[in-house]
């Protein structure tokens, strides 16, 4: 499987997002109204828009922000792959986005068959990055100028889409897919529903960053599994930096 995919051409990524402000009451009157309108249409069964803000706002680019992007890539060394990672995290979303977009630009220019890779990146991570970048008045690199592209033209390898095998009714989480493939769970500390609380109440960006990095490693392991190659050992995973802004 994936015989046509060159692992060293992939930039594997994951993002962590949180509500834009610490509570519903911190929103402007206009944004409170707009959140209530959004919430009523997307989660009408719960009814309490104020309570739902902390639970759900982070999944929408209009009401949330990115606090961490972790990215990794395979590097062949002596006939064996190692995996190198860098994270961009902190309170300053425009800064971490700008640094990540610069990485994308350099990586895509270096590798002619460049693709993004990740789990559910087509429906979540990549659109979220693009939307928040536009909100921050940042220029998207050519690799993210994807509006108007047909689905098969998108430079993305999505492990959730791969696992569907054409079944578009199916959703499989990264945690479940890792478990059935015999890959250590990336969800051994927190899960997505807890990230907002860890950020706004515990102020623990380091914990969020580690969680994000584990997701990236899990995707890398899945891709090796799909290609029937040996999995990465702990010593094969190399951190090349963590850009953390305030």
The alpha-helical segments, DSSP class H, found in the chain are 29-42, 49-56, 93-110, 126-135, 159-164, 174-180, 195-200, 205-226
> Residue 192: what pLDDT?
75
The stretch 56-79 carries a mean pLDDT of 93
- Is 46's pLDDT higher than 70? no
Percent of the chain with pLDDT over 90: 75
The stretch 129-137 carries a mean pLDDT of 98
CA distance 105 to 68: 18
CA distance 50 to 35: 9
> Residue 34: what pLDDT?
96
- Is 169's pLDDT higher than 80? no
| Placement of tokens 């429906």 in the chain | 123
What's phi and psi for 194, nearest 5 deg?
Answer: -100, -10
CA dihedral 140, 146, 240, 187 (to 10 degrees): 120
The alpha-helical segments, DSSP class H, found in 186-239 are 195-200, 205-226
pTM over 0.85: yes
CB atoms within 10 A of CB 159: 24
Kindly state the tokens that stand for 41: 């249409």
Q: What is the domain partition of the chain in residue ranges?
A: 7-20+63-245
The stretch 181-208 carries a mean pLDDT of 85
Percent of the chain with pLDDT over 70: 96
Nearest-CA neighbor of 63 among 118, 22, 122?
22
- Is 203's pLDDT higher than 80? yes
Superfamily of domain 7-20+63-245: Ribonuclease H-like superfamily/Ribonuclease H (3.30.420.10)
- Is 246's pLDDT higher than 60? no
CA distance 115 to 155: 5
């Amino acid at each position: 499987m994936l015989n046509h995919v060159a692992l060293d051409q992939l930039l594997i990524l994951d993002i962590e997002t949180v509500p834009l402000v610490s509570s519903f009451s911190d929103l402007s009157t206009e944004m409170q109204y707009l959140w209530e309108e959004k919430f009523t249409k997307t989660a009408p069964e719960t009814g309490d828009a104020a309570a739902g803000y902390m639970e759900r706002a982070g999944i929408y680019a209009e009401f949330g922000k990115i606090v961490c992007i972790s990215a990794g890539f395979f590097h062949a060394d002596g006939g064996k792959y190692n995996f190198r990672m860098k994270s961009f995290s902190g309170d300053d979303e425009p800064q971490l986005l700008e640094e990540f977009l610069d990485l994308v630009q350099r990586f895509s220019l270096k590798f002619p068959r460049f693709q993004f890779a990740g789990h559910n990146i087509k429906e979540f991570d990549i659109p979220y990055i693009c939307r928040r970048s536009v909100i921050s008045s940042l220029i998207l690199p050519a690799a993210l100028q994807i509006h108007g592209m047909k689905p098969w033209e998108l430079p993305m390898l999505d492990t959730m889409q791969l696992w569907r095998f054409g079944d578009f009714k199916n959703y499989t989480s990264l945690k479940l897919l890792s478990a059935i493939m015999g890959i250590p769970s990336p969800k051994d500390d927190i899960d997505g529903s807890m990230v907002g609380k860890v950020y706004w109440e515990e102020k623990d960006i380091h914990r969020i960053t580690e969680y994000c990095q584990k997701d990236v490693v899990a995707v890398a392991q899945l891709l090796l599994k799909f290609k029937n190659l040996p999995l990465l050992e702990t010593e094969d995973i190399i951190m090349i930096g963590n850009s953390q802004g305030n």
